[in-house]
């Protein structure tokens, strides 16, 4: 009998800084990591041979970053002014007309685009939270799973929904009936959820928000998630007045839940989240549009586990975790009066991007740190050849405070997805072309139906004549 083929190996040697994020938060210097197949086999390895050797002299090696909240389809609608500042009713009209023509190909291309951008910024695991299936196109979910597979990123899609209810503000073609939502939720779990240690796809469930579901269906979805042993996710406290008691009565709190935003919360809400061990996703750029910053330091003090999410183009036009991490740190300075903190340290940002994210997604055992036996998800950044890092006293601080937007190498599940700053799994020029033509087509159709231009909206700021 033929013996099983040995899995491919990668050796990263001579790393200036190897930031492990292990329990002792060790940082090793002039160190190495040896990986075989999907797994880290040895840290500080003395090995000399591997299928692929990366000389990491001058580099910082970090655990892969985890993005815990996104709406990938929205990358098709970047820079649409009417999606950013309108009151809710015209906003709904605009998004409805834009997504009307969304189909499998468009969702696939949008997901490729967002995921490619994320991987190039060091992201190795990503959530997506699609909640519109216009005209019953349930396969939009499947398109994103295919895109993640193509890019090679670890994927955590959540099958979101907007239930057809009498008081809903979305047009009928964007919402779905209870029975369909339940059967589709079950289908995508059965089809795509892999509970394995090094799983590349784990499905979650949840309504867009509690305002988009009846209490009855919300409860049923929570029960279904628990029966199938998958996680729950939803938007919460993005705007004032959202009540945690509604999540409580649906059963949407607990260790297997992570909530996006959590901005408008009271000290009592924070206590409930801490007590139930509910995870939180901090979306800093989106916070800026909400007039308030999530109380991250107050929540961390209560031992709440926090990850970071870029969120979609309705609030953020970039899918970049280096940018998001930088803003995540700086923005907490606005809470200074309460917390006496002017910004978060790079190590604190990194904790949220790695261990915090892994906790949100229920993957702490195998993701979030560089340790023997964990997944081979690694990011390498050369800090010795970049203008932004020149003169930096601490390379780790330089990564998150100087404005870097791209990393040098990214390994996911033992595979090199980014090499010398280039994506290895997809032709970016082709992707940009496809994305542009689909986005234009959707915008054109929407403009026709709305009777307005989505591009020209010239609003001057400076009140003087030149």
Interface residues with Zn ion (CB under 5 A) are 311
In this structure, what token pair is assigned to residue 270?
Answer: 């924070």
Cα–Cα distance between 312 and 283 in angstroms, integer? Answer: 10
Sign of CA dihedral 114, 119, 123, 124: positive
Pick between residue 125 and residue 316 the one whose CB is nearest to Zn ion: 316
Cα–Cα distance between 51 and 383 in angstroms, integer? Answer: 25
Angle value at C-alpha 351, between 300 and 345, nearest 5 degrees: 80
Pick between residue 142 and residue 311 the one whose CB is nearest to Zn ion: 311
Q: How far is the CB of 69 from Zn ion (least distance, A)?
A: 6
Angle value at C-alpha 108, between 221 and 380, nearest 5 degrees: 95
Angle value at C-alpha 277, between 274 and 283, nearest 5 degrees: 80
Residue 403 to residues 216, 330, 360, 400, Cα–Cα distance (Å): 46, 12, 26, 7
What backbone phi and psi angles, to 5 degrees, belong to 62?
A: -125, 160
Centroid of chain to Cα 271: 25
Residue ranges in 240-317 assigned as alpha helix (H):
244-250, 267-276, 284-289, 296-301
3-state helix, strand, coil in the chain (%, to 5): 40, 20, 40
Yes or no: say if 132 and 73 are a contact pair by the CB < 8 Å rule. yes
Pick between residue 82 and residue 261 the one whose CB is nearest to Zn ion: 261
The residue of the chain with the least Cβ separation from Zn ion equals: 311
Pick between residue 312 and residue 362 the one whose CB is nearest to Zn ion: 312
Pick between residue 77 and residue 366 the one whose CB is nearest to Zn ion: 77
Pick between residue 97 and residue 238 the one whose CB is nearest to Zn ion: 238
Q: How far is the CB of 68 from Zn ion (least distance, A)?
A: 11
Pick between residue 36 and residue 317 the one whose CB is nearest to Zn ion: 317
Which of 5, 157, 146, 144 minimizes the C-alpha distance to 67?
157
In this structure, what token pair is assigned to residue 88?
Answer: 């809710």
Pick between residue 220 and residue 311 the one whose CB is nearest to Zn ion: 311
Pick between residue 36 and residue 311 the one whose CB is nearest to Zn ion: 311
Q: How far is the CB of 132 from Zn ion (least distance, A)?
A: 12
Q: How far is the CB of 226 from Zn ion (least distance, A)?
A: 23
Q: What is the three-class DSSP state of 405?
A: coil
Q: How far is the CB of 457 from Zn ion (least distance, A)?
A: 23
204-236 b/e (C-beta count within 10 Å ≥ 16 → b): bbbbbbbebbbeebbebbbebbeebebbbbbbb
Which of 261, 337, 267 minimizes the C-alpha distance to 293?
261
Which of 48, 62, 39, 37 minimizes the C-alpha distance to 13?
48
Q: How far is the CB of 242 from Zn ion (least distance, A)?
A: 14
Cα–Cα distance between 422 and 255 in angstroms, integer? Answer: 37
Q: How far is the CB of 289 from Zn ion (least distance, A)?
A: 11
Pick between residue 274 and residue 314 the one whose CB is nearest to Zn ion: 314
Residue indicated by tokens 């390379």: 395
Pick between residue 320 and residue 434 the one whose CB is nearest to Zn ion: 320
Cα–Cα distance between 157 and 147 in angstroms, integer? Answer: 11
Q: How far is the CB of 308 from Zn ion (least distance, A)?
A: 13
Yes or no: say if 405 and 322 are a contact pair by the CB < 8 Å rule. yes
Pick between residue 97 and residue 311 the one whose CB is nearest to Zn ion: 311
In this structure, what token pair is assigned to residue 179?
Answer: 């029975």
28: which strand partners?
18
């Amino acid at each position: 009998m033929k013996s099983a083929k040995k899995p491919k190996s990668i050796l990263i040697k001579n790393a200036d800084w190897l930031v492990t994020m292990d329990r002792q938060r060790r940082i090793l210097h002039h160190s190495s990591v040896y990986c075989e197949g999907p797994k880290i086999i040895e840290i500080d390895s003395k090995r000399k041979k591997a299928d692929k050797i990366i000389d990491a002299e001058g580099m910082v090696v970090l655990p892969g970053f985890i993005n815990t909240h996104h709406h990938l389809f929205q990358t098709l609608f970047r820079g649409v002014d009417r999606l950013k500042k309108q009151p809710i009713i015209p906003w709904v009209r605009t998004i409805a007309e834009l997504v009307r023509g969304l189909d499998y190909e468009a969702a696939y291309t949008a997901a490729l685009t967002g995921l490619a951008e994320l991987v190039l910024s060091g992201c190795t695991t990503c959530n997506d939270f699609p909640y519109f299936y216009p005209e019953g196109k349930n396969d939009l979910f499947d398109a994103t799973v295919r895109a993640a597979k193509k890019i090679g990123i670890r994927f955590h899609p959540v099958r979101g929904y907007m239930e057809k209810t009498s008081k809903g503000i979305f047009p009928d073609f964007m919402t779905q009936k209870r029975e369909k939502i339940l059967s589709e939720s079950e289908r995508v779990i059965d089809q795509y959820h892999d509970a394995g240690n090094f799983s590349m796809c784990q499905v979650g469930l949840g309504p867009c928000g509690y305002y988009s579901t009846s209490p009855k269906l919300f409860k049923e979805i929570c029960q279904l998630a628990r029966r199938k042993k998958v996680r729950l996710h939803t938007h919460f406290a993005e705007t004032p007045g959202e009540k945690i008691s509604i999540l409580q009565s649906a059963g949407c709190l607990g260790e297997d839940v992570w909530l996006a935003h959590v901005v408008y919360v009271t000290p009592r809400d924070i206590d409930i989240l801490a007590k139930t061990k509910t995870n939180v996703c901090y979306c800093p750029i989106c916070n800026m549009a909400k007039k308030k910053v999530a109380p991250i330091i107050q929540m961390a003090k209560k031992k709440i586990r926090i990850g970071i999410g870029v969120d979609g183009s309705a609030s953020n036009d970039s899918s970049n975790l280096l940018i998001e991490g930088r803003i995540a740190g700086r923005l907490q300075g606005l809470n200074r009066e309460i917390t006496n903190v002017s910004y978060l340290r790079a190590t604190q940002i990194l904790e949220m991007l790695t261990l915090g994210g892994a906790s949100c997604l229920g993957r702490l055992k195998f993701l979030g740190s560089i340790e023997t036996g964990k997944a081979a998800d690694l990011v390498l950044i050369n800090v010795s050849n970049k203008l932004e890092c020149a003169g930096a006293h601490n390379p780790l601080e330089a990564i998150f405070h100087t404005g870097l937007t791209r990393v040098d190498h990214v390994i996911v599940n033992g595979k090199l997805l980014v090499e010398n700053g280039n994506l290895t799994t997809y032709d970016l020029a082709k992707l940009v072309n496809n994305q542009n033509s689909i986005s234009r087509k959707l915008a054109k159709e929407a403009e026709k139906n709305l009777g307005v231009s989505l591009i020209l909206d010239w609003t001057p700021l400076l009140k003087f004549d030149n």
